[in-house]
Amino acid sequence: MHDYHVHTTYSDGDLLPRMVAAAEDAGLDGVGFADHCNVFETEGARAYRDAFGFNLDLTYERRRGAIERWRDRTDLRIYDGVEMDYHPDYEGDIREFLADANFQYAIGSVHAVDGANVHDREHFGGLSTAEREAAVETYVDRVCSLIDSELFDVAAHIDLVERNPALRGLMADDHYRRITDGLSGSDTVPEINAGRVLEDYGEFHPRDPFVETLLDAGVGFTIGSDAHEPGVLIDSVDRLEDVVAERGLPVVELDL
């Protein structure tokens, strides 16, 4: 089993050695470090990177060196990946960065719509129903554009808006079909993502109705704990193994 979506202190996770040890304890065959990265050249994006330390665009070579050192100390396969923020207006910047950085694989994520992070409960909770529906429509449009771009090996948590109670339930069957149609004709693979499974949200991404649509279209999945802490990685892997077995999910291993 390979977990391709793990974070370290090179973005907002725990120390890389601690995450390697957790992957070993979880019995993984391989772990992929995919720290957050944003290359949007806007004042807001730069301020966000500075405030939260999401500067993998500046530090990926240092992290790569750390990964190389740990590869010599374990039988675990360790992969050098990235989780890139996606926006259709910055495809050129993303493409150029990925070509220069030469990660083993890239995960694409849509984290923001309507000028706010999709986790922002206060922002979206203050909008009207029509405005919240429009925000979800924009989110789905951007996920479809992410897939169409063919910039990424993996599309992360493709119903991320479900984590926000103010947006939950606004994705519908037509949204599922649009995203599924894009994935059916793409080399980009969605992931079964365990982010927030151990917290109040308590569900995997995508949710079951969306998974059924993807399965009906013959779409496979990669595995991602989206873990930021060692204990979460270990517990999420157990749960991911269970859901894959219970649902008979087709699992895709990246060709690395």
Q: What angle do CA 50, 113, 141 make, to 5 degrees?
A: 130
Count the Cβ atoms, other than its own, within 10 Å of residue 96.
Answer: 11
pLDDT at 48: 76
Residue 13 CA to its chain's centroid (Å): 14
Report the CATH superfamily, name and number, of domain 2-247.
Metal-dependent hydrolases (3.20.20.140)
For every one of its 256 residues, what pLDDT tens digit does the chain have, with 9 covering 90 and above?
999 999 999 999 999 999 999 999 999 999 999 999 999 887 777 777 877 778 899 999 999 999 999 999 999 999 999 999 999 999 999 999 999 999 999 999 999 998 899 999 999 999 999 999 999 999 999 999 999 999 999 999 999 999 999 999 999 999 999 999 999 999 999 999 999 898 889 999 999 999 999 999 999 999 999 999 999 999 999 999 999 999 999 999 999 9
- Two tokens, residue 209: 């109705």
Please state, in angstroms and rounded to a whole number, the distance separating the CA atoms of residues 213 and 171: 13
For 171, list phi and psi in degrees, rounded to 5.
-80, 135
Q: Is 24 exposed, middle or buried (0-12, 13-18, 19+ CB in 10 A)?
A: middle
Sheet containing 77-85: order of strands: 2-6, 30-37, 77-85, 105-109, 154-155, 189-193, 222-224
Please state, in angstroms and rounded to a whole number, the distance separating the CA atoms of residues 29 and 192: 17
Q: Which residues pair with 113 in a beta bridge?
A: 116
Question: Whole-structure pTM over 0.85, yes or no?
Answer: yes
| Tokens 């849509």, located at residue | 110
Please state, in angstroms and rounded to a whole number, the distance separating the CA atoms of residues 104 and 32: 9
Domain boundaries, the chain: 2-247
Please state, in angstroms and rounded to a whole number, the distance separating the CA atoms of residues 100 and 192: 28
In Å, the largest CA–CA distance within the chain is 54
Please state, in angstroms and rounded to a whole number, the distance separating the CA atoms of residues 220 and 190: 7
Query: If you write DSSP's letter for every residue of 28-78 in order, what string do you get?
Result: -SEEEEEEEE----SHHHHHHHHHHT--HHHHHHHHHHHHHHHHTT-SSEE
Alpha helices (H) in 35-192, listed in sequence order: 43-52, 56-71, 91-101, 121-125, 129-149, 173-184
Q: Could you tell me which of 93, 138, 82 has the C-alpha nearest to residue 115? A: 138
Count, in order, helices (H) and strands (E) of the chain: 9, 9
Q: Which residues pair with 191 in a beta bridge?
A: 222
